[in-house]
Amino acid sequence: MQNIAEFRIIGRIGKITAMEKVTYIDVASNYARKEGDAWKDDTHWNRITLFGRTKERADRLSTGDLVHITGRIRQSRFERDGETHYGTDIIADRMGVLLRKGQANEQQEPIEDDDIPF
């Protein structure tokens, strides 16, 4: 049996950082939490790493797009100046645009990634 660490995020793109071999996108997801008698949105930002095919598709993304991303979580460790540093990478395997920024739900484009299993 394979052991896996995976994720699923549905959220809006806030920032796109394209580099030569990798692209990073920051995706905001909101959770409701109760504060006193009122409910508040609690926004969490997730930095997603795109390689290969998902990186190529990033050219068609824009800030504000609503996206659905699934992938894997990878732990990393490196040494710098004798000190060990740890990190967590969130790596996209599949990605689809659910709604373009400024589009109403009625004008929604079809999802671009046929690999999403739903």
The pLDDT assigned to 3 comes to: 81
For residue 99, give its domain range.
6-103
| Residue 110 domain flag | no
With respect to residue 49, please indicate whether it lies within any of the assigned structural domains. yes
User: Would residue 1 count as lying in a domain?
Assistant: no
The count of structural domains within the chain is 1
- Taking residue 18's Cβ as centre, other Cβ atoms within 10 Å add up to 13
Residue 62 inside a domain? The answer is: yes
Checking if the pLDDT of 118 tops 50, the result is no
Q: What is the pLDDT of residues 49-106, one digit of tens each?
A: 999 999 998 889 999 999 999 999 999 999 999 999 999 999 999 999 999 988 866 5
Kindly report the CATH number assigned to the domain that includes residue 28: 2.40.50.140
| Higher pLDDT pick, 90 / 110 | 90
Give the phi and the psi of residue 90 in degrees, each rounded to 5: -105, 105
- In the predicted structure, residue 114 carries a pLDDT above the cut 60: no
Q: Which of 4-8, 22-26, 43-47 has the lowest mean pLDDT?
A: 4-8
| Contact status, residue 10 vs residue 48, Cβ threshold 8 Å | no
Q: Is residue 115 part of a domain?
A: no
Whether residue 60 lies inside any domain: the answer is: yes
Summarised one tens digit per residue, pLDDT across range 5-22 is 899 999 999 999 999 999
Is residue 48 included in any domain, yes or no?
A: yes
Of 52, 62, 44, give the one whose Cα is nearest residue 23: 52
